Structure 1
Amino acid sequence: MKGTKSPKLHQREIQERYSRYVEPLVRQMPWVLRITERKGKPSPVFVVKERVHVLDEGTNPGSRKVSSVLKERGTLYGPALWRCRPVLRLILAEVKDGLGIPLELQQFVADQRVSFRGNLPLDAEAGEKLALLFKLQERVTDMDRVELMAWRIERCTAEEAGYWWSRITQFNEAANRWAQAGLRLLLGGQPGDPAVIEMLQEIRR
């Protein structure tokens, strides 16, 4: 059809946009979403990482300096990934650069197979929302509950996402585990509860 771009041309444009506008921000933004492959897991694997600042004492007195490392905070793959992809695209679409210009990151997960492999920069809101979802969906086999959690996390404010992320990560192991269990129930309902499907159908509209 006249005016229709070929898939290869479209992918080339996306790669050029990535190299020019997106990739330079990977070392600056507080969170990163890595789309990759891992042995023994269905591809692709989404890995969300948080930039953590650490103090490097060095070997000489007075040589202390602050550096940053990326700490893995959760993964998503398989049925849960495909079920939640519409929500992931909404979250990624809201990420902007320092001037408030949308990075349009949703285009990197738009094709059916998610062929893109690489790192996407995330602001604090997107990073904490993805980290919440990736962590809470662990051990949940009911995909209706997983998708419901995803939609409700996407609708959280930045402040709510930051608060809940801190509640499930910044205490001792038992307290974090209890908070995660409680938040799964709050956002995803009880296993087998018919209201889960009813709420999911309503929130999709």
Structure 2
Amino acid sequence: MTKKQKPTDPLELERDFQHRIRPLLLQAPWILRVTEFKDKPIPVLVVKERLNPGEDRQKNGGAAGKTALKERGCLYGQPLRRCLPVIRTIIGGVCDAAGIPLELQRFLGNGRISFRGNLPLDEEAGVKLALIFKLQERVKEMDRVELMAWRVARFSREEAAYWLTRGTQYGEAANRWALAGMRIMLGGQPGDKAILQLLEKLRR
């Protein structure tokens, strides 16, 4: 293994996780959990945002409250298989405080995903995954799901955060309309022949 390579051997990968990556989970603004649910194909990816319920109290002179993780979406089955290259690309950009890449994509192999546990995400990776997980819900055409994922991956952090907010924080009806519009904007209409053409370009 050269100095530029990160460990890929299972034992070395576990050692790197315990010493360098796991400590970051306590403060990471977003978390990607790789887990299993009895009623869903394995594995299941769950993205969670860290919230601070006591932040307002602290601003007003009160004691700071404990942070809490809130689930923002999950992905599994065929959508996960189609979006895995995109997800690996997104989480591959997460760095530690010194700007050194964590190379989290090592934990989500191109084939079978054996890792189970939590991975720390920065704000950009978190909002992008949350938006992808939300947009793919109820979409049956896997080409559209993958296309939306690749296009979200190319968003800036600000763009992803804006669109995630538009689709989750404006009430049930407004959220539903915003997500429906984004699905067409990013993934086209079902059956559109241009979907595959654009998808092939983005895969390169």
- TM-score normalized with structure 1 length: 0.90
**Gap runs ≥5 in structure 2:** 1-7
Distance in 1, matches of 2:38 and 2:143, equals: 27
> CA contact under 8 A between 2:84 and 2:110: conserved in structure 1?
no
SS in structure 2 of the partner of residue 72 of structure 1: strand
Question: 1:104: which partner in 2?
Answer: 103
Larger radius of gyration: 1
Which is further off, 23-32 or 62-71?
62-71
SS in structure 2 of the partner of residue 50 of structure 1: strand
Question: 2:53: which partner in 1?
Answer: 54
SS in structure 2 of the partner of residue 199 of structure 1: helix
Question: 2:185: which partner in 1?
Answer: 186
Question: 2:29: which partner in 1?
Answer: 30
Distance in 2, matches of 1:14 and 1:82, equals: 23
CA RMSD of aligned residues (A): 1.7
Deviation at 1:65, TM superposition (A): 2.8
Question: 1:132: which partner in 2?
Answer: 131
Distance in 2, matches of 1:197 and 1:78, equals: 21
- TM-score normalized with structure 2 length: 0.91
Q: Which one-letter code corresponds to 2:67 in the other structure?
A: S
Question: 2:144: which partner in 1?
Answer: 145
Q: Deviations over 1:9-53 (max 9, x none)?
A: 811111110001111001111000000000110000000000011
Q: Which one-letter code corresponds to 2:198 in the other structure?
A: M
Q: Cα 1:10–1:128, aligned 2, differ >3 Å: closer, same or farther?
A: same
SS in structure 2 of the partner of residue 65 of structure 1: coil
Q: Which one-letter code corresponds to 1:107 in the other structure?
A: R
SS in structure 2 of the partner of residue 32 of structure 1: strand
Question: 1:166: which partner in 2?
Answer: 165
**Gap runs ≥5 in structure 1:** 1-8
Question: 1:4: which partner in 2?
Answer: none
Question: 2:74: which partner in 1?
Answer: 75
Q: Deviations over 1:83-111 (max 9, x none)?
A: 11111110011001111111110000025
Structure 1 segments of 4+ aligned residues over 3 angstroms from their partners: none
Q: Cα 1:111–1:148, aligned 2, differ >3 Å: closer, same or farther?
A: closer
Q: Deviations over 1:166-205 (max 9, x none)?
A: 1111211111111111111111110111111111112112
Distance in 2, matches of 1:165 and 1:69, equals: 19
Question: 1:16: which partner in 2?
Answer: 15
SS in structure 1 of the partner of residue 47 of structure 2: strand
